[in-house]
Structure 1
């Protein structure tokens, strides 16, 4: 019997399965970023005020380890999905584990609940993350030209969830459930974690209710059991990789190494940038004091606004005589934009200094707004293009595994980011932010110089 295919679409339209994955990823990111927006504040807030009372340096190291580990487990999740589980089932397993992880953070407001919750989130993300991105690529087996645009749309789903999450969980933690016990303000972090758990459950209900209708049989069986005529429109070869497949795999690994420097800077958002904004930024805006967690909504807000513009720009550029920018060039530009964002932030640090015990002056809120704007532009040049690159270049039998390798670069970067963030408490914000910005610009220039060679390896 012929395999069931995803719902069809017109020549110039994206398949409806893209939008199902869009909403599934949107709710998963709501869950993750809602929790992440509170994690550093939860760790550093005093026990009597509803936090765990960790030292700031220790808290940022824990944050870095957690955000790093969630990107390492996709290596194992991708391997198991390719060979044994199937991508569709892995997404469901991952979603359930992540919902339980956030619920553990809600139910047990102590270090035991912290480690159980973070552990479940790390494992669940390993099953979920590489497989949903790979499914997006599988929707376009014979339409490589649309993949960059499709992944940019998919990226909007990620960031709609990431935009609303800090607003909701930050409000619950900072406003709605603030009470006074013995004269001490008590923050409602646990209710923010509960909201994250509910978001994950909603995403899984949508995905499992509509998956058969809009995805057909793609991702239902492990790749190793697929034969010619599979849903991706190709054959899964049992033999060794060809020379061209090895070259393309090498390109993925090389570019993955470069983007570590990007994510090490970008992922300061949840740690050092959060603590800097909490202490050194004047958060009053037209008479309203902006909760610190809300600053993490700036990045996804800018992505939702700018992603359609860039998606349209890539398509129009591909139709010109010159053609679209190559993948390495786009990524190099993204790294340079990140570095420029830190140059803007350094101007704020020059005003405020780094001494949290003696804050004489606070910086204007627009410094951090423009920093996030440049970081967002850098992300749009790099991240959705990277997801598209892996789906295009990876040999079919290694697709989820190499997506895991791509995500693992963020794991290395997040651990590095945690160490860098911890140094802001000893070296100072100026030194650390300046180092990150300079390294991003230098590595971007090097990638530009290597772009011609990498493009030839990709062809």
Structure 2
């Protein structure tokens, strides 16, 4: 997308109207609020649905396998952003990608809400994976399009947007978890489907007035002569993949264990290929190549951070269910409620961070320095959660406040990395790969969860202390290393702060 088109988009968006930010931030804030409500509501009970016995309304899957599937599912959700980013960049723009993605997500939750077999579970996962890949990176790209490159409100705007994500994430586990406990898992999934419907309604009703041209311009359109060839290749690939699955599954060669291993490899391989393709593309300028080099260590840091943060829905979810005292202060706590801690703390502290970046202006820490501090906090959060097992043993229930403190410390890291990373991605992205670079940012989470699918196998009550200690220590060590090299990385950013 040319600089002219970027400025044309900015000029088309009403620049005042939502807490001093572009009016379109209202539309995207609430669209993402409801999308995240549906996603985090479903995710809060999904791992329990998998490993709870059939007599309790679950699928009865082995717990270790369920934790790996949960990680792989999370990885595929973000990995599918490649598809959504490519379609937005080359075919129909980010606005249509957000709408089509929301439709797929809603139907995925509807399928989960219908009592059925393991096959129904797989169908719903495919729909949600594809839909999230369409919506998630493109709604964030839309936010970036509303600001000029020099607009100092950008980081603050992304932090406010991030609050919308977490408001939905806070309410969803409380509501869906309670409904699930009182009725059944499928009733909880139905609530998630309603949430996505409300998000679509908000987007459709307000986008024309508030977003202007944001999301409507295709930055790198696919020539008409190539469309037929691309669609034919994709269709043929899907048919071949279907035939391979039809042959290998009955033969017992394509098992969940093998599939998990394949996704783990892809989680590392795909972003590596992405970096190479963008760097070598003739559409990438010399300045943009330098910025891609600067983006690599940030990406690696993000993988480390999300490898810890995303275990909130796997290891820490199991920890809440089996290792935590759930009758506390006169109330019975649903283990799903702990999933609300992360977004609750972000809602609480995001305004402080947003105010702080605006107040500091050009005196704030650089992007690499913020990332390094994020790794220190995430590592510390795992060192905190190992303490109750280290001090009191792993065969007794622990005070839930340990989990609360661990989530709180990790949130400080998340506020230093996630909204800042979204903003940095929109600034460092090559023009021809704007939406796809946002997809690359989400591939950091995909890579982290693909790695987690293997790592979670090593967790058990006996290995608990070593598990948390090794991972937490690795994050702190990487954070220190990144801080040391932060000035060098900043130099490759060519003026971006």
Q: Name the residue aligned to 1:373.
A: 408
Distance in 2, matches of 1:11 and 1:92, equals 22
Whether 2:330 is the aligned partner of 1:334: answer no
2:482 to 433, 447, 452: 447
Aligned residues: 428
2:70 to 38, 63, 88: 63
Q: Name the residue aligned to 2:192.
A: 196
Distance in 2, matches of 1:126 and 1:22, equals 18
Structure 1, unaligned runs of 5 or more: 178-187, 227-237
2:284 to 225, 241, 258: 241
Q: Secondary structure at the match of 1:86?
A: helix
* 8 Å contact from structure 1 (residues 148, 311) kept in 2: yes
Structure 2, unaligned runs of 5 or more: 1-7, 223-280
Distance in 2, matches of 1:266 and 1:33, equals 14
Q: Name the residue aligned to 2:451.
A: 416
2:310 to 264, 267, 276: 267
Whether 2:49 is the aligned partner of 1:53: answer no
Q: Secondary structure at the match of 2:80?
A: helix
Whether 2:353 is the aligned partner of 1:346: answer no
> What are the within-5 Å matches in structure 2 for residues 268-417 of structure 1?
268-318=311-361, 323-354=363-394, 359=395, 361-417=396-452
Distance in 1, matches of 2:310 and 2:80, equals 18
* 8 Å contact from structure 1 (residues 17, 139) kept in 2: yes
Distance in 1, matches of 2:61 and 2:333, equals 24
Structure-2-length-normalised TM-score = 0.83
Q: Report deviation, 1:125.
A: 0.8
Change (3 A) 1:40 1:81: same
Q: Report deviation, 1:6.
A: 1.9
Distance in 2, matches of 1:10 and 1:350, equals 52
> What are the within-5 Å matches in structure 2 for residues 121-140 of structure 1?
121-140=128-147
* 8 Å contact from structure 1 (residues 281, 364) kept in 2: yes
Change (3 A) 1:301 1:416: same
* 8 Å contact from structure 2 (residues 158, 423) kept in 1: yes
Distance in 1, matches of 2:340 and 2:392, equals 23
Q: Secondary structure at the match of 2:397?
A: coil
Structure-1-length-normalised TM-score = 0.90
Q: Report deviation, 1:130.
A: 1.0
Q: Name the residue aligned to 1:233.
A: none
Q: Secondary structure at the match of 1:223?
A: coil
* 8 Å contact from structure 1 (residues 30, 200) kept in 2: yes
Kindly provide the CA deviation profile for residues 136-162 of structure 1, in whole angstroms up to 9, marking residues without a partner as x: 011102543111111100000000000
What RMSD in Å do the two structures reach over aligned CA positions? Answer: 1.8
2:215 to 197, 201, 219: 219
Q: Name the residue aligned to 1:207.
A: 203
2:84 to 58, 77, 89: 77
* 8 Å contact from structure 1 (residues 57, 425) kept in 2: no
Q: Name the residue aligned to 1:37.
A: 44
1:428 to 449, 452, 463: 463
Q: Secondary structure at the match of 1:15?
A: coil
* 8 Å contact from structure 1 (residues 332, 448) kept in 2: yes
* 8 Å contact from structure 2 (residues 41, 192) kept in 1: yes
Distance in 2, matches of 1:405 and 1:144, equals 23
Kindly provide the CA deviation profile for residues 243-275 of structure 1, in whole angstroms up to 9, marking residues without a partner as x: 111011222233112211111111110111111
* 8 Å contact from structure 1 (residues 262, 335) kept in 2: yes
Question: Which is further off, 51-60 or 242-251?
Answer: 242-251
> What are the within-5 Å matches in structure 2 for residues 2-13 of structure 1?
5-9=12-16, 13=20
Change (3 A) 1:12 1:118: closer
Name the structure with the higher helix share: 2
Q: Report deviation, 1:225.
A: 5.0
Q: Secondary structure at the match of 2:220?
A: helix
Q: Report deviation, 1:425.
A: 2.9
* 8 Å contact from structure 2 (residues 105, 128) kept in 1: yes
Q: Name the residue aligned to 1:147.
A: 154
